A and B are shown apart, each in its own frame.
Chain A
Amino acid sequence: MLESIWVIPAVTFASFWLILFFGKRLPKHGAEIGIAALGIAFVLSCVAVVEWNARPADEVVEAGHETGALEEGHGGAEVDDEGHALGEVQTLALESAVEAEGGEGEHEAEPIRSAVERNLTWFSFGGVDVTVGTAVDGLTVVLLFTVALISLLVHVFSTNYMHGDVRFTYFFAALSLFTTGMLLLVVSSSLLQALFGWELMALCSFMLIGHWWEKKPNSDAAMKAFLTTRTGDIGLLVGIVIMFFAAGQTFDIAAINEAALSGAMAETALVAGAAALFIGVIGKSAQFPLHTWLPDAMAGPTPVSALIHAATMVVAGVYLVARLYGVFWEAFDIGAGGVNPIALIGGITILIAAALAFVQTDIKKVLAYSTVSQLGYMVMALGVGAWTAAIFHLFTHAFFKGLLFLGAGSVSHAVHSFEMKDDMGGLRKFMPVTYTTFMIGSLALAGLFPFAGFWSKDEILLGAAENGYRLFEVVGIVGAFMTAAYMTRCVYLTFFGRYRGHGHPHESPPAITVPLIVLAVFSVGAGFLNFPGFERFFELTENRVFLLAGVEHHSFEVFPAVVSSAVVLAGLAFGGMLFFARHLPRGVTARSGAARAGYSFLVNKYYLDHLYTGVVIGSIKGGIARAAYWINQKVIDGVVNGVGIASKRTGSWVYRHIDQQVVDGAVNGAGFGAEGFGGILRTIQTGRVQQYGALLFGASAVLALTLVIFI
Chain B
Amino acid sequence: MLVNQFLILGAVLFCIGVYGVLARRNGVLVLMSIELILNAVNINLVALGSLQGPEAAVAGQVFTLFVVTIAAAEVGVGLAIVLLIYRNRASVDLDEVDLMKG
Q: CB-nearest residue of chain A relative to B23?
A: A690
Give the docked Cα–Cα distance between A681 and B101 (Å). 12
Please determine whether A693 and B21 come into contact, CB atoms closer than 8 angstroms. Answer: yes
Q: Is B59 on the interface with A (CB-CB < 8 A)?
A: no
Give the docked Cα–Cα distance between A686 and B95 (Å). 10
Please determine whether A687 and B101 come into contact, CB atoms closer than 8 angstroms. Answer: yes
- Residue numbers in B under 8 Å from A690 (CB-CB): 21-23, 30, 94-95
Q: CB-nearest residue of chain B relative to A685?
A: B102
Q: Is A697 on the interface with B (CB-CB < 8 A)?
A: yes
- Residue numbers in B under 8 Å from A694 (CB-CB): 22
- Quick one: which of B18, B21, B95 contacts A688, CB cutoff 8 A? B95
11 contacts between A and B (CB under 8 A): A681-B102, A686-B101, A686-B102, A687-B97, A687-B98, A687-B102, A688-B94, A688-B95, A693-B21, A693-B22, A694-B22
Closest 3 CB pairs of A and B: A685-B102, A687-B101, A687-B98
Please determine whether A682 and B94 come into contact, CB atoms closer than 8 angstroms. Answer: no
Q: Is B99 on the interface with A (CB-CB < 8 A)?
A: yes
Give the docked Cα–Cα distance between A693 and B94 (Å). 12
Taken residue by residue from 56 to 94, chain B's Cβ proximity to chain A (1 for < 8 Å, 0 otherwise) reads as 000000000000000000000000000000000000001
- Residue numbers in A under 8 Å from B94 (CB-CB): 688-690
Q: Is B100 on the interface with A (CB-CB < 8 A)?
A: yes
Taken residue by residue from 677 to 700, chain A's Cβ proximity to chain B (1 for < 8 Å, 0 otherwise) reads as 000011001111110011001000
- Residue numbers in A under 8 Å from B21 (CB-CB): 690, 693, 697
Q: CB-nearest residue of chain A relative to B101?
A: A687
- Residue numbers in A under 8 Å from B95 (CB-CB): 688, 690
Interface size on B, residues (CB 8 A): 13
Q: CB-nearest residue of chain A relative to B100?
A: A687
Taken residue by residue from 213 to 250, chain A's Cβ proximity to chain B (1 for < 8 Å, 0 otherwise) reads as 00000000000000000000000000000000000000
Please determine whether A697 and B22 come into contact, CB atoms closer than 8 angstroms. Answer: yes
Give the interface residue-count category, chain A: 10 to 19
- Residue numbers in A under 8 Å from B97 (CB-CB): 687-689
- Residue numbers in A under 8 Å from B98 (CB-CB): 686-688
Give the docked Cα–Cα distance between A689 and B26 (Å). 12
Q: CB-nearest residue of chain B relative to A698?
A: B22
- Residue numbers in A under 8 Å from B22 (CB-CB): 690, 693-694, 697
- Residue numbers in B under 8 Å from A686 (CB-CB): 98, 101-102
Q: Which of B15-39 contact A (CB under 8 A)?
A: 18, 21-23, 30
- Residue numbers in B under 8 Å from A681 (CB-CB): 102
Q: CB-nearest residue of chain A relative to B21?
A: A693
Give the docked Cα–Cα distance between A326 and B71 (Å). 85
Give the docked Cα–Cα distance between A685 and B18 (Å). 21
- Residue numbers in A under 8 Å from B102 (CB-CB): 681-682, 685-687
Give the docked Cα–Cα distance between A689 and B94 (Å). 7
B10 to A: closest C-beta gap in Å:
15
Give the docked Cα–Cα distance between A687 and B98 (Å). 4
- Residue numbers in B under 8 Å from A687 (CB-CB): 97-102
Please determine whether A697 and B99 come into contact, CB atoms closer than 8 angstroms. Answer: no
Q: CB-nearest residue of chain B relative to A694?
A: B22
Q: CB-nearest residue of chain A relative to B95?
A: A688
A684 to B: closest C-beta gap in Å:
8
Give the docked Cα–Cα distance between A693 and B97 (Å). 14
Q: CB-nearest residue of chain B relative to A686?
A: B101
18 other A-B residue contacts (CB within 8 Å) besides A685-B101, A687-B100 = A681-B102, A682-B102, A685-B102, A686-B98, A686-B101, A686-B102, A687-B97, A687-B101, A688-B94, A689-B94, A689-B97, A690-B22, A690-B23, A690-B94, A690-B95, A693-B21, A693-B22, A697-B18
Give the docked Cα–Cα distance between A686 and B97 (Å). 10
Give the docked Cα–Cα distance between A682 and B102 (Å). 6
From B18, B97, B102, residue with most partner A Cβ within 10 Å: B102
Give the docked Cα–Cα distance between A685 and B101 (Å). 6
Taken residue by residue from 241 to 277, chain A's Cβ proximity to chain B (1 for < 8 Å, 0 otherwise) reads as 0000000000000000000000000000000000000
- Residue numbers in A under 8 Å from B99 (CB-CB): 687
Give the docked Cα–Cα distance between A690 and B22 (Å). 5
B90 to A: closest C-beta gap in Å:
19
From B18, B22, B97, residue with most partner A Cβ within 10 Å: B22
Give the docked Cα–Cα distance between A694 and B100 (Å). 16
- Residue numbers in B under 8 Å from A693 (CB-CB): 21-22
Q: CB-nearest residue of chain B relative to A681?
A: B102
B32 to A: closest C-beta gap in Å:
14
Give the docked Cα–Cα distance between A693 and B33 (Å). 13
A551 to B: closest C-beta gap in Å:
81
Q: CB-nearest residue of chain A relative to B25?
A: A690
Give the docked Cα–Cα distance between A689 and B101 (Å). 10
B85 to A: closest C-beta gap in Å:
11
Give the docked Cα–Cα distance between A682 and B99 (Å). 14
B80 to A: closest C-beta gap in Å:
16
Give the docked Cα–Cα distance between A693 and B101 (Å). 15
Give the docked Cα–Cα distance between A693 and B18 (Å). 9
- Residue numbers in A under 8 Å from B101 (CB-CB): 685-688
- Residue numbers in B under 8 Å from A697 (CB-CB): 18, 21-22
Give the docked Cα–Cα distance between A688 and B100 (Å). 8
From A682, A687, A697, residue with most partner B Cβ within 10 Å: A687
- Residue numbers in B under 8 Å from A685 (CB-CB): 100-102
Give the docked Cα–Cα distance between A687 and B100 (Å). 4
Q: CB-nearest residue of chain B relative to A683?
A: B102
